[in-house]
Amino acid sequence: MASSPFISETEPWKDLRVHVDDIKKTHLRELMSDADRCQSMMVEFDGMLLDYSRQCATLDTLKKLYNLAGVAHLKEKINRMFNGERINTTENRSVLHIALRAPRDSVVNSDGKNVVPDVWQVLDKIKDFSERVRSGVWIGATGKVLKDVIAIGIGGSFLGPLFVHTALQTDPEATEFASGRQLRFLANVDPIDVARNIAGLNPETTLVVVVSKTFTTAETMLNARTLREWISAALGPQAVSKHMVAVSTNLTLVEKFGIDPNNAFAFWDWVGGRYSVCSAVGVLPLSLQYGFDVVEKFLKGASSIDQHFHSAPFEQNLPVLLGLLSVWNVSFLGYPARLTTFKQNFIQVSMESNGKGVSIDGVPLPYETGEIDFGEPGTNGQHSFYQLIHQGRVIPCDFIGVVKSQQPVYLKGEVVSNHDELMSNFFAQPDALAYGKTPEQLLNENVPHHLITHKTFSGNRPSVSLLLPSLHAYNIGQLLAIYEHRVAVEGFIWGINSFDQWGVELGKSLATRVRTQLNASRKKGEPVEGFNFSTATVLTRYLEASAD
Ligand code: F6P
């Protein structure tokens, strides 16, 4: 265990700690009145505009954060990632999701080998396979076209693809290629989810894609066996080869499961599960639904951010700025949560990456890391939990908006469109949070005295706003990569390993123990043993009651 000084022991960290007192004295109302400051806190890149002027920060704060980035060796760490060094030290792996979307002629080395040709070999295979399925060249066992896809997978083998699919399924530039097709995701092991997934689908016209990096994840493998049975029962066991394909790094287990390795799409151990949407994990199911060309635009968007992240100066670098501001909010201002309007895979990318208790060298940290991310798209959250954000706890917010809606609605005779209405809230909420409402304002509005405190908003609640020109595949790729790299920046500053996930193992191994007990009790009537009193009692009750 190497000893490295914690970032919290460095001068820039201590300087920022002292700086907190100055910032806490200055309300966002005051900060927002300085137009030059606001102008300096807006960054444009490739059609996107990031406005971070509503952060409880001054230009001086930013300078101090750049100093912190300096002592954290942020630039060097980013370079080490792009150079394919094994920065995921606990798993002895490089972290190269950027290679998954690198242009065909680029070079990204892992262990001295350019991995880009391997990436494109799989992409070409996906393009070919998805075109054959979509055009009806690859057909089901009974000769029918496979128009529906169920992608089985969980965690990173589900949330990234779900995020992209959710965004594309209303984009006319994508849906024009999806006509008559359905893509569904089966993640949870609850039999209810299986029932919902297969409801209305015909095995004859369904292709099942089993997505699992390890091909050992209990939930995914059980769901895969369930759907294999669904296909076999309807069409015979020989139909499985026509109706099931796989995405994995473990092609041996894919074959053992009964899927022809020729129908398996590989990826590599240098792709973390939660960073895998740009591998076959996302590209295969999404190409089956929308066609490869649409998905390629998504990859290009992500790649444009990779290049930006790698080369733009910190002052102009969207992921770096967002990452540094997150560290500022969490570690200095003491705001551990974050509201985000796009939550599906970002919650996993952020919380599985940065919820760590030890440094990359395995030394317990003297400060807390990670954020609690949550959110809802659009104005849904406003009618639910925003009350707490406005008058309860301070929770920094990310607002993401688009200039052009995928589906604009113009009601006859109305000037403000449906999308304008949505965006009115996008513009209003950050100011409401920043400025709040004072008792004086309320008195001027003749609010009765007994309601003044109830209706007062203290404001001074930070947010960032990101305005995108539109939401097509390319922009979705940009958004994904910005958030992936932001999380990396946070981890690099905190000095942790953002690319392992040992914290999810304990629950998994305890579930295995319970599963073994269920088996032993049901098969051989063995009593429940080796658990604490509470678990043993409830487990026994479950076994007895479910035996009826
Ligand atoms: O839950 C932990 C985890 O290992 C995630 O990191 C991963 O995305 C998920 O499980 C699924 O793993 P796999 O793709 O190997 O089935």
For residue 209, the CA-to-ligand 1 centroid distance in Å is 16
For residue 501, the CA-to-ligand 1 centroid distance in Å is 9
Catalytic entry in 113, 508, 526, 544: 508
Average pLDDT, rounded, for the chain: 96
- Weakest mean pLDDT among 93-102, 175-184, 411-420, 483-492: 411-420
- Containing 248, the helix (H) or strand (E) segment is strand 244-248
The complex's ipTM works out to 0.97
24 tagged catalytic: no
Tokens of 317: 């670098």
Catalytic entry in 204, 219, 296, 352: 352
352 tagged catalytic: yes
Instruction: Tell me the pLDDT tens digit for each residue of 203-215.
Output: 999 999 999 999 9
From the CA of 217, give the closest atom in ligand 1.
16
State residue 2's pLDDT score.
46
Pocket of ligand 1 (CB under 6 A): 154-157, 212-214, 217, 220, 273-274, 352, 501, 504
pLDDT at 159 over 80: yes
State residue 434's pLDDT score.
98
Task: Please report the DSSP string for 162-212 in residue order.
Answer: HHHHHHHTT-HHHHTT-TT-EEEEE----HHHHHHHHTT--GGGEEEEEE-
Instruction: Tell me the pLDDT tens digit for each residue of 72-90.
Output: 999 999 999 999 999 999 9
Given CA atoms 311, 299, 500, 364 in this order, what sign does their dihedral have?
A: positive
State residue 412's pLDDT score.
87
For residue 216, the CA-to-ligand 1 centroid distance in Å is 9
Kindly indicate the confidence band of residue 414, based on its pLDDT and cuts at 50, 70 and 90. Answer: confident
For residue 488, the CA-to-ligand 1 centroid distance in Å is 18
- Rounded average pLDDT over 506-531: 93
Mutate to test the pocket of ligand 1, among 88, 157, 268 (most ligand atoms within 8 A of CB): 157
Instruction: Tell me the pLDDT tens digit for each residue of 252-310.
Output: 999 999 999 999 999 999 999 999 999 999 999 999 999 999 999 999 999 999 999 99
Question: Could you say which DSSP state residue 100 is in?
Answer: G
Tokens of 7: 């970032």
Tell me the whole-structure pTM to 2 decimals: 0.96
State residue 1's pLDDT score.
43
Which residues pair with residue 198 across a beta bridge?
Answer: none
